[in-house]
Structure 1
Amino acid sequence: MRVLVIGSGAREHALVWKLAQSPRVSRLYAAPGNPGMTPYAECVPINVSQLSELADFAERSAIDLTVVGPEVPLVEGIVDVFRRRGLRTFGPDQAGAALEGSKAFAKELLTEAGIPTAQHRTFTVYAEAIAYLEQHGAPVVVKADGNAAGKGAIVALDMATARDALQQMMVERAFGVAGDIVVIEDYLQGDEIGSTAICNGTNYLPLTLTQDHKRALDHDQGLNTGGMGVFTPLPFVNVEQEQQIRERIILATLQALKARGIHFTGVLYSNIMLTRQGPMVLEHNTRFGDPETQAFMLLLKEDVLNVLEYADGKQAPSNNLWHPGSAISLTLASGGYPGKYRSGIPITGIEEANRLDDVQVFHAGTAMQDGRLVTAGGRVLSVVARGTTLQEAVAKVYEAAAHISFEGMHYRRDIAHRGLEALT
């Protein structure tokens, strides 16, 4: 089977790495790919938003399956473009991807279906949003309706932060057209976790639950990022909570979409808050998470192609999907991230880290410059480790990170702290 993976980050590198292990995959391509993928896939220089060019390449190269990594091409309708040409893809169509592409649409769907989520209001006029905020008060969460690279949701614990968020989104246009519509929702308290399911329209295959660490600094301090690290599975989630997530959120969302004529296939990745009232949806995403995917691919025992093909209605793979134990993914970031940062800084030590048992380094923001690997993004690398226990996985990932170096490199040193606390 000839497979094309669309994307250039660590999530896509992890998918390529795992697909390369499948005996059913004969040829791998990545568009546009990154330097870390070159041992496994042929990288083709096509941007993820060039939908027609990507479809042309897939036709020309007789691609049997295209796996779409990032949300932008999904929201722009890449699956629809490919399907019109008879090309098989993994991911939802444009109607399904609106669940991530429009927070206002998602909140409307959740509310109408009675799926547990925070109370909210939607605004297109700055003055009306400010008036509501002054009446409601803080804390709130202010969200840009469209895609904002994981940075369009601002948790405002005080009025000054909330006002500033509205100013940024609706007046200063910090997120461009993503801020044309803004959602203000109630602030929920509890443990935030991630739920990932492979969906085939009517049913789903749940993957292990995850917890991301979105703040840039230890102890959940600093600015929100695209993700500084994740671990899986979660020892503090009980069977009842997991069942509620599956029935009241995943299945209920698929049914709500079906009622609107949307046959949702691909990944439903949900950010969920475990509140005193039970699990509640913060937001839905319609693609694999990053850095969640990196941890999944190291922990996954099953051929990943069998997992992806469940979305086509193929039989679910065996119950023995996972290696025993835990996996943890750690983001190595550029100095200054998520603010301004420099690029073109040489990176060393990846080979040494990869030589450790059950460790794999995935490239997130790297490039080749004059024959040397250099930084080319805010999140530069994902270091992933698997252990028979969570404690072992944590020890391994930080041992691996110690081998890697680039000027200004920083990372959180408390990834999985909530899981470790639950085990003591």
Structure 2
Amino acid sequence: MKILILGGGGREHAIGKKLLEDCSSMNLYFYPGNGGTGIIGKNIGNHYSTLELVFFAKKNAIDLTIVGSEIFLLEGIVDIFKNFGLKIIGPHYLAAKLEGDRIFSKSFMKKYGISTPKFEIFSCYKKAINFFKKKFFSVAIKTNGIAGGKGVILAHNKNEAKKALKTIMIEKKFGKSGDKIIIEEFIEGKEASIISIFNGKHLIPFLSAQDYKKIEENEKGMNTGGMGCVAPNPYMTNSIWMDFKKNILEPTLEGLISEKLTFFGFLYFGLMITSNKVYLLEYNTRIGDPEAQALLPLMKCNFLDIIQSSFYNKKKYIFWKKLCSCCVVLSSKGYPEKYESGKIIMGLNSLQEPFYIAGAKKEKKNWITSSGRVLNIVGVGKTIKEARKKAYDQVQKIHFENLYFRKDIGLYNNMK
């Protein structure tokens, strides 16, 4: 079987490794891929248009394409592949707006009574400023476009809010993504990620996870693509699961079917858990990164079977190992803003599985950093504490100039 995976980070390396673990005889192709994916499959190049990817898939008799990165989804790649009779996992263009257009997404949540923080929409800077003159409460100010997962600024007072509005709407730090904004009620709590697979009829949730989005410890500093992850999420209690299913999962399914947003692929729920309730902050229409790196080592089932089952409208149960995982992201210092690449990585050959290349390439005999997030190192154990220790023991084996990582991934009070 021939599978094409679209994306070039740790998530795509993790997807490829899991597929090969379940069936070693398949042939994997990656676009654009990275140094790690080039070892387990073939990176097909760096400058393909969507139509050129179609021609590649046709010419090479690709059986299935899996979209990892949102960039491809927002270009309508699923619609184009389907028009050419190619099998692809991911949402069509309109359904992809659930991730790519926050106003579309929040309006969908409101229409179907999905539990989400209160919000207001603005396209005028002055009107947004005036909103804060009447009253103030802590808010999340979000660009309408996703801005690479970084277009969210928290403001806890009027000065922070004004600065955020100026950054987004006047200085255009996030480009056209900031032409329209959402001002959302700030909900304090613990983050949770629930990835599900959608077969057009059922949403089948995965094991819960907790993503660490901020660059600094104790969830401070700028938003990133994710600095670490643990699974299962220790805050996802039975009562929270029930709340999630009743007030988020089920009305989402109703809305998807009613609005003809059905597709074959993944839907990610970005959640916030308070003391007794769970709120939906965002959808992603793909597998999360670094959630994939934490979850796939715990999956007991054949991943390809789960993916292929989505095409047949049949509800397939997913089984998980009774273990925990902790993923630590190693990055280049300065990420998510300015950072230097081209640094030699020492110690990669001494790592034990599971680990994933996120932004590194091999030049002759050396591994070289090539992106902001460089490596994902995962520990697996009977408890989060054990998984965390294994992950950080592995981290100590890696060295490169300007190496940075958070030291608090998976660290909880009264941790067992």
TM-score normalized with structure 2 length? 0.96
1:353 aligned residue: 351
Correspondences of 1:6-405 after superposition (within 5 Å)? 6-23=6-23, 26-47=26-47, 50-276=49-275, 278-313=277-312, 315-319=314-318, 321-354=319-352, 359-369=353-363, 371-405=365-399
**Gap runs ≥5 in structure 1:** none
User: CA separation in 2, counterparts of 1:133 and 1:367?
Assistant: 47
* Paired residue secondary structure (1:81): helix
Displacement of 1:26 = 2.3
Partner amino acid, structure 2, of 1:397: A
> Match of 2:199, as an amino acid?
N
Sort the Cα spacing of 1:297 and 1:66 in 2 relative to 1 into closer, same or farther, 3 A: same
Distance in structure 2 (CA, Å) of the matches to 1:251 and 1:184: 26
Which whole-Å CA distance do the structure 2 matches of 1:214 and 1:179 have between them? 20
The one-letter amino acid paired with 1:375 is T
Residue 412 of structure 1 is matched in structure 2 by 406
Cα gap change, 1:407 to 1:83, in 2 (>3 Å): same
**CA-to-aligned-CA distance 1:16-39 (integer Å, 9 cap, x gap):** 111112328521111111111122
What is the CA-CA distance between 1:318 and the residue it aligns to? 4.8
Contact between 1:6 and 1:32, CA under 8 Å: does it hold in 2?
A: yes
Q: What are the Cα deviations for residues 168-224 of structure 1, in whole angstroms up to 9, with x where unaligned? A: 111111111111111111101111111111111221221111111112122222222
Q: Give a deviation string over 1:371-398, Cα, whole Å, max 9, x none.
A: 4211111111111121122121111100
SS at structure 1 position matched to 2:340: coil
Contact 1:138 1:162 (8 Å CA) reproduced: no
Q: How far does residue 422 in structure 1 lie from its aligned partner after superposition?
A: 5.7
User: Equivalent residue of 1:207, what SS?
Assistant: strand
C-alpha distance in structure 1 between counterparts of 2:273 and 2:43, whole Å: 40
Q: Distance in 2 between matches of 1:407 and 1:23?
A: 37
| CA apart distance, 1:5 | 0.4
Secondary structure in structure 2 of the residue aligned to 1:20 = helix
Bigger mean CA offset, 409-418 vs 280-289? 409-418
Deviation at 1:423, TM superposition (A): 4.1
Distance 1:99 1:318, change over 3 A: closer
- CA distance in 2 between partners of 1:47 and 1:238 (Å): 45
The answer to whether the 8 A contact 1:211-1:234 is kept is yes
More displaced 10-residue stretch of structure 1: 148-157 or 268-277 = 268-277
SS in 1 for 2:304: helix
> C-alpha separation between the residues in 2 aligned to 1:383 and 1:57?
32
- Matched positions, count: 416
Deviations 1:120-146 (A, max 9, x none): 111111111111133242311000011
> Which letter maps to 1:149?
G
Q: What RMSD, in angstroms, separates the aligned Cα atoms of the two structures? A: 1.7
More divergent stretch after superposition (303-312 vs 81-90): 303-312
Shift of 1:47: 4.5
Q: Please list every run of 5 or more consecutive structure 2 residues that lacks an aligned counterpart in the other structure.
A: none
Q: Cα offset for 1:253?
A: 1.0
Secondary structure of 1:417's aligned partner: coil
Contact kept in structure 2, 1:350 and 1:361, CA below 8 Å: no
Question: Is contact 2:385-2:410 (8 Å) kept?
Answer: no
2-structure distance, mates of 1:395, 1:246: 33
Q: Report the residue type matching 1:301 in the other structure.
A: K
Residue 170 of structure 1 aligns with an amino acid whose one-letter code is M
How does the TM-score come out when normalised to structure 1? 0.94
Q: Report sequence identity in percent.
A: 35
Contact kept in structure 2, 1:97 and 1:286, CA below 8 Å: yes
> Using the alignment, how far apart are the partners of 1:153 and 1:68 within structure 2?
24
In 2, Cα distance between the equivalents of 1:415 and 1:76? 34
Is the 1:307–1:316 Cα contact (8 Å) retained in structure 2?
no
The alpha-carbon distance between structure 1 residues 368 and 116, as it changes in their structure 2 partners (threshold 3 A), is same
